[in-house]
Amino acid sequence: MKNINVIYYTLSGNTESFARKLTDEPFDIKDVNKTNQPYVLLTPTYKFGQVPDIVSEWLEDNHANMIGVVSFGNRNWGSEFFGKAGDIISEMYNVPLVRKVELRGTEEDVAYITEFIHGY
């Protein structure tokens, strides 16, 4: 993997579990104060299609080096809300929504996102 970090937020562990399939050394957003390195953001969607508050606040200071966002969710929430955090962040900061991943994702999801990072 190039010098591109994987930074994630997780509440119940699904997004962290996925992040660990992309790299041996993903960073928990809570441990990152400021980053000067390019990174891909992984975030779940909560509360009817919203970006978690911690992620929103962190991005205010740290969005400049984000090269893409991967959102997580559950299709049970319906197509309007599924993974919507990614749509919101992509639009707000003008970065690609790389993929929406359901729960802990599939091998195909891992391959797709790895490809994006390598191709960057």
The DSSP string of 42-109 is EEE-BTTTB--HHHHHHHHHHGGGEEEEEEEE-GGG-TTTTTHHHHHHHHHHT--EEEEEETT--HHH
Residues ≥6 apart with Cβ < 8 Å to 65: 35, 36, 37, 38, 39
List the one residue from 30, 47, 61, 115 that touches ligand FMN (CB under 6 A).
Answer: 47
Q: Tell me if 49 contacts ligand FMN by CB under 6 A.
A: yes
CB closer to ligand FMN, 5 vs 100: 100
User: Applying CB under 6 A, which part among 22-30, 71-79, 86-94, 111-119 lies near ligand FMN?
Assistant: 71-79
Q: Tell me if 39 contacts ligand FMN by CB under 6 A.
A: no
User: Applying CB under 6 A, which part among 40-48, 59-67, 91-99, 107-115 lies near ligand FMN?
Assistant: 40-48
Residues ≥6 apart with Cβ < 8 Å to 47: none
Q: Tell me if 38 contacts ligand FMN by CB under 6 A.
A: no
Interface ranges with ligand FMN (CB under 6 A)? 10-15, 44-49, 72-74, 77, 81-84, 103
